A and B are shown apart, each in its own frame.
Chain A
């Protein structure tokens, strides 16, 4: 099955700085890569996703890049704000519609 690794496990940034989270996947058949944000005790919320036919996607302060050859994808958050503090999960989806999640990154934005 698909194996997704995510780094770093924790990330502390100064407000206004950028945050980058990286993930690698093992199954070359994976073609959909969503990113979820989960606040403590809440549901995961989709913040951005990318499909295998695209190399980069941006939505305001959030961007995701995908390198299919290297099987890795990254989340970039620019101009971080305190409300960006949360746990972020990457995921990959092979052809069976099931998502395999990374271990998560706890992001803390220092004011």
Chain B
């Protein structure tokens, strides 16, 4: 149980284009999902907290107009990297808390983004 999926698993795009990444909780509902970015050999850096039915909360230094988050249902959150540039190339990972369990975060498999 507690499976989180992400799509796509990897994407290569040209500079200036937008990329949408989906995060789904497959066997549970989640009012809260989290989006992280991980550069090679570094830790997970929280970008934003996605709340179902309301606006996302962004961490300091993360541009909300560049990283658009939508949490339209209890099982789906999307992250759109707008006007992507090479420095946005990274491993993007989402996680989700099951309703009623605000402690345990289950992680998705991650999406590797390469911007050329």
Chain B residues near A36 (CB, 8 Å)?
107
On chain A, the number of residues with a Cβ less than 8 Å from chain B's Cβ atoms is 21
Interface residues of A (CB under 8 A from B): 32, 34, 36, 41-46, 49, 51, 89, 93, 97-104
Q: Are B43 and A101 in contact (CB under 8 A)?
A: yes
Q: Is the interface of B mostly helix, strand, loop or mixed?
A: strand
Q: Which residue of A lies closest to B60 (CB)?
A: A1
On chain B, the number of residues with a Cβ less than 8 Å from chain A's Cβ atoms is 22
Q: Are A102 and B43 in contact (CB under 8 A)?
A: yes
- 5 extra interchain contacts, Cβ-Cβ under 8 A, other than A43-B110, A104-B43? A32-B103, A44-B107, A46-B105, A97-B97, A102-B43
Asked if B67 is an interface residue, CB under 8 A from chain A, the answer is: no
Chain B residues near A89 (CB, 8 Å)?
43-44
Q: Are A98 and B49 in contact (CB under 8 A)?
A: yes
Q: Which residue of A lies closest to B4 (CB)?
A: A43
